[in-house]
């Protein structure tokens, strides 16, 4: 069910009123008398470490995951492990620290660049239906020449966009305009198809391309092709979530409130938006591993419903380029140095205080998603955020 913007605005106003009421009650109960003492007491009451719930893990495992989360000073940690068809979940902290809104396994977060794998899956689902071709010239979809002006004879393909090899800069404008993809400033010196250069811009062009090819909004395609068949509540647009109330605030540098999250919306005019596919997916860790589970089970969900064909999944997971330290697939990197003795698919996400990662292994039928916020931004030598990596090591074994 799509909720109208007027209804959303009313709900947002009610939610804000409730937050103010909760905040006021909190101050009354502490008996604070104002000034610096009140501010200090409120700050001290902001976060109580050690608040956690878990399902499927033992008490000892839950305690250890909690200890790691607490050691990093995270405000919230949500993880899910899929092993075969079984999902285990763990939640630490609060979805909203100020009003002590509990973090649950159903709380959804904006997962940053973990969005890209799902966007790649949406593109491949459209390819199955004949709307797009991963090896076509993207000029065919944009209705005008799209070339790196340094290499005017080389066509740029969706496959290049999906593997960060299209020679595009990392971040471009957020609305498509005629002539954008012939401007020298939007390209690197690399020859298209020959070098890897991470590009959010390239993934957002996938969104724009799909809308032009299908005549439908990108978010509606993702819902029909992926989210609805998998029975999950996820969306690239906050206002189009089935339940927009259980959404977590992001804490950290440039942190994102729920109100700010609601301001991320696609362009009303189809085929112009460049703001969703690279990083705006809103989803829980539990539901994210259901998408990973579909990929490790040859396109089927845990109930054997075919969401993508086995052939499509094979294309998504194929190595497209080998680099020093990893191979490149659609929406993922293939790495051998993350889990000892295993070759796994990996991606991280970082934006507005969200530090996230997923890992999955089609051979062992295991998958894991970790969503964290509020801790310091630090990475290990393999590029995965330190808290995420410590939790992966602890839980994966």
Q: What is the pLDDT of residues 120-164, one digit of tens each?
A: 999 999 999 999 999 999 999 999 999 999 999 999 999 999 999
In angstroms, the CA 91 to CA 38 distance is 30
Residue 9 lies in a domain: yes
CA geometry: angle at 56 spanning 232 and 229, to 5°?
Answer: 15
- How far is the CA of 325 from the CAs of 51, 335, 336, 340, in angstroms? 38, 7, 8, 14
Residue 226 lies in a domain: no
324 Cβ neighbours under 8 A, 6+ residues apart: none
Instruction: Kindly state whether residue 163 falls inside one of the protein's structural domains.
Output: no
Compute the average pLDDT of residues 94-109: 94
Which range of residues forms the domain containing residue 8?
Answer: 1-34
Of 238, 240, 176, residue with least CA distance to 210: 176
Predicted pLDDT of residue 310: 97
Q: Is residue 10 part of a domain?
A: yes
CB atoms closer than 10 angstroms to residue 377: 12
How many other CB atoms are found less than 10 A from the CB of residue 343? 14
As beta bridge partners, residue 327 has: 322, 334
What span, in angstroms and rounded, lies between the C-alpha atoms of 89 and 82?
Answer: 9
> Which is higher by pLDDT, 381 or 36?
381
Is residue 346 within 8 Å of 359, Cβ to Cβ? Answer: yes
What is the end-to-end Cα distance of the chain in Å, rounded? 40
Is 174 a member of any domain?
no
Domain count, the chain: 1
Give the dihedral of Cα atoms 220, 109, 289, 274; nearest 10 deg. Answer: 40
Average pLDDT over the chain reads 88
What is residue 46's predicted lDDT score, i.e. its pLDDT?
Answer: 61
Read off the pLDDT band of 254 (50, 70, 90): confident
In a domain, 46, yes or no: no
Is 12 contained in some domain? yes
Is the pLDDT confidence value at 347 over 50? yes
Q: pLDDT, tens digit, for every residue of 185-235?
A: 999 999 999 999 999 999 999 999 999 999 999 999 999 999 999 999 999
At residue 280, does pLDDT exceed 70? yes
Query: How far apart are alpha carbons 278 and 126 in whole angstroms?
Result: 17
Does residue 85 lie in a domain region? no
């Amino acid at each position: 069910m799509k909720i109208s913007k007027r209804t959303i605005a009313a709900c947002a106003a009610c939610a804000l009123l409730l937050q103010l009421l909760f905040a006021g009650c909190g101050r009354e109960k502490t008996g604070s008398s104002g000034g610096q003492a009140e501010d200090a007491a409120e700050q001290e009451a902001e976060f109580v470490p050690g608040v956690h719930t878990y399902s499927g893990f033992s008490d000892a495992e839950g305690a250890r995951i909690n200890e790691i989360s607490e050691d990093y000073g995270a405000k919230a940690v949500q993880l899910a492990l899929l092993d075969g068809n079984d999902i285990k979940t763990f939640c630490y902290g609060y979805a909203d620290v100020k009003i002590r809104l509990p973090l649950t396994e159903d709380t959804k977060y904006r997962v940053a660049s973990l969005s890209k794998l799902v966007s790649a899956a949406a593109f491949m689902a459209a390819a199955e239906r004949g709307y797009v071709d991963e090896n076509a010239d993207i000029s065919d979809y944009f209705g005008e020449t799209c070339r790196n002006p340094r290499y005017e004879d080389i066509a740029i393909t969706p496959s290049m966009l999906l593997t960060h090899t299209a020679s595009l800069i990392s971040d471009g404008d957020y609305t498509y305009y005629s002539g954008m993809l012939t401007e020298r400033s939007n390209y690197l010196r690399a020859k298209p198809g020959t070098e890897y250069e991470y590009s959010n811009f390239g993934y957002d062009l996938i969104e724009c391309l799909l809308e032009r090819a299908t005549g439908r909004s990108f978010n509606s395609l993702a819902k029909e092709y992926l989210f609805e068949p998998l029975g999950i509540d996820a969306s690239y647009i906050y206002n189009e979530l089935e339940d927009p109330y259980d959404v977590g605030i992001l804490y950290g540098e440039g942190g994102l409130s729920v109100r700010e999250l609601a301001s991320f919306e696609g362009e009303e005019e189809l085929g112009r938006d460049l703001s969703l596919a690279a990083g705006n997916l809103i989803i829980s860790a539990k539901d994210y591993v259901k998408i990973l589970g579909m990929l490790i089970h040859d396109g089927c969900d845990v109930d054997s419903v075919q969401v993508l064909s086995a052939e499509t999944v094979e294309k998504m997971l194929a190595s497209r380029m080998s680099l020093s330290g990893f191979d490149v697939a659609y929406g993922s990197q293939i790495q051998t140095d993350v889990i000892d003795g295993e070759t796994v698919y990996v991606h991280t996400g970082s934006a507005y205080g969200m530090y996230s990662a997923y890992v999955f292994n089609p051979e062992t039928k295991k998958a894991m998603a970790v969503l964290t916020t509020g801790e310091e931004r630090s990475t290990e030598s393999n590029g995965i955020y330190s808290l995420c990596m410590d939790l992966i090591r602890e839980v994966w074994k």
